[in-house]
């Protein structure tokens, strides 16, 4: 497994989702949950973020096709 873990500032830059929205999306289950790295550190798997982005693109494409 070649997993890359991104910390919050990197996640914000990678996805374009602001910090306040990131927190809300995670709490409502609309964004991948972070993994605990240590007692005071969390991160996200880039593969989870890639899957989330792909799902958003597919959702957009499905909405266009239905229109």
**Domain range enclosing 43:** 5-66
What pLDDT does residue 55 have? 96
* Residue 38 bridge partners (DSSP): 41
Number of domains the chain is built from = 1
Kindly give the confidence (pLDDT) of every residue in the chain, 67 residues in length, as a single tens digit, with 9 standing for 90 and above: 679 999 999 999 999 999 999 999 999 999 999 999 999 999 999 999 999 999 999 999 988 787 6
CA distances from 58 to 16, 44, 64 (A): 17, 21, 10
What pLDDT does residue 1 have? 64
């Amino acid at each position: 497994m070649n997993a890359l873990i991104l910390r919050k500032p990197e996640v914000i830059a990678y996805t374009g989702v602001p910090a306040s929205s990131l927190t809300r999306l995670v709490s409502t289950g609309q964004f991948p949950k972070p993994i605990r790295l240590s007692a005071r550190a969390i991160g996200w798997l880039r593969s989870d973020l890639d899957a989330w982005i792909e799902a958003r693109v597919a959702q957009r494409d499905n909405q266009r096709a239905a229109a």
